Amino acid sequence: MIRKITEDQSKGKEIDVLCPECNRSTRHVVRQSFYDHWQSDDHPEYYVQGGTDYQIVECLGCRTVTFRTDGWFSEDAEGTIQLFPKRSNNTLVIKDFYEVPRKLRRIHKEIINSFNDDLLILCAAGLRSIIEGICDEKGIKDGPVELIDNGRIKKITRKTNLQGKISGLAEKNILTQSNAEMLHEHRFLGNEALHELSQPSVKELKLAIEIVEHMLENIYELPSKAKELRGFKGKRKNL
């Protein structure tokens, strides 16, 4: 194999890159590059070749730096571009929750990382875990579940599975009834789906993550902010 290394071959070149800070595609400039080109020498008449340009690029708007690779192969017309940290139009940012218990914050971080790395089954399992964690932290053991027969409610029974616990959160007014109903719609939150290892869609997971983050905000963050606001009002009255 014949290899040739060229430094700063694409330095100064401007390209469009998805910026993690601007949250959209912006103009970037290549600050440094390292191009590695290779070519097979086994059969000169039928050789294959390829190369990868390793680049450090900088957003011309917010100045965020990204590591980018631009690779090609003579047998593949499309080529491969990778960005580090990994991102796409569906990439989610890990939100800061200061009042959420540490265990739940850790699970939330792993959920977002799994989603961004396209580990969708692990992401779904993480969503189940964080809802179970919220129920455990709030002392929810079960909840009312409607048994439907031919489209009609046959009876209401209490269940200790995740379906029952989600209903229990709404029963205790920890979760709104509408959010509980939306969570029930996600099939991957059912016990059967976990054993089947069925993969939910990106769109479905993204919606479920939004609901869970809304839960964390309402259950843990807003009460703390309201308490802080009442403290400011008390201080003003004493002036």
Instruction: Please answer whether residues 7 and 33 qualify as being in contact, where contact means their C-beta atoms are separated by less than 8 angstroms.
Output: yes
Residues 59, 131 within the same domain: no
Residues linked to residue 15 through DSSP beta bridges, in sequence order:
28
Q: Residue 135 falls within a domain, yes or no?
A: yes
Could you tell me if residue 29 is inside a domain? Answer: yes
187 assigned to some structural domain? yes
Q: At what angle do helices 120-137 and 102-116 cross, to 10 degrees?
A: 160
Q: What domain range is 40 assigned to? A: 2-84
106 with 147, same domain: the answer is yes
pTM of the model: 0.69
In the numeric block, the tokens 């009834």 are attached to 177
Q: Give a yes or no: residue 91 inside a domain.
A: no
Scanning the structure block, which residue is given the tokens 């029952």?
164
Calculate the CA dihedral of residues 148, 153, 158, 162 and round it to 10 degrees: 40
Helix, strand, coil share (%) of the chain residues, nearest 5: 40, 30, 30
User: Is 216 within a domain?
Assistant: yes
* 110 and 195 co-located in one domain: yes
Nearest to 129 by CA among 106, 147, 159: 106
Place of tokens 């709104």: 176
Going 167 to 217 to 137 to 172, the CA torsion angle's sign is: negative
22 shares its domain with 79: yes
Residue 89 in domain: no
pLDDT tens-digit profile, the chain (239 residues): 788 999 999 999 999 999 988 888 999 999 999 999 998 877 666 778 999 999 999 999 999 999 999 999 988 878 899 998 888 878 888 899 999 999 999 999 999 999 998 898 889 889 989 999 999 999 999 999 888 777 677 778 999 988 899 999 999 998 888 888 888 887 667 655 566 667 788 898 998 899 899 989 989 998 887 777 776 666 666 65
6 sits in the region (left: phi over 0; alpha: psi -120 to 50; else beta) called beta
